Amino acid sequence: MSDATFTFRVDDALKAEFSQAAKAMDRTGAQLLRDFMRDFVRQQQEAAEHDAWFRRQVQVGLDSANAGDVISADEVEAEAAAWRAATQRKLTGSTS
């Protein structure tokens, strides 16, 4: 991998504070900037991967719904009522 120079402008005070903070961590500003850049690229890749996964999941749901593979509102409510009752029994310590 070849190295490239990255040049940008920054306020003198910010540069001085950043350099001082880097030195306090026994690092150079360049080392920290490379770390920040790597982290940013990784975060963007992870976000893009999650977005792609999410879109696939939404499409699966849409395809299922379009194929008629759905649960009725009554079935959902019945399951939710059973879940609420079971949770309430656990909270009150009732075994009935």
Among 6, 12, 13, residue whose Cα is nearest residue 32: 6
Q: What pLDDT score does 94 carry? A: 67
Q: Which residues contact 10 (CB under 8 A, 6 or more apart)?
A: 18
Rounded Cα–Cα distance for residues 63 and 26 (Å): 55
Of the chain, the percentage scoring pLDDT greater than 90 comes to 91
As a whole number, mean pLDDT of residues 14-21 equals 97
68 secondary structure, DSSP code: T
Extract the tokens encoding 21.
């903070």
39-64: pLDDT as tens digits: 999 999 999 999 999 999 999 999 99
The residue extents of the domains of the chain are 12-70
Can you give the pTM of this predicted structure?
A: 0.66
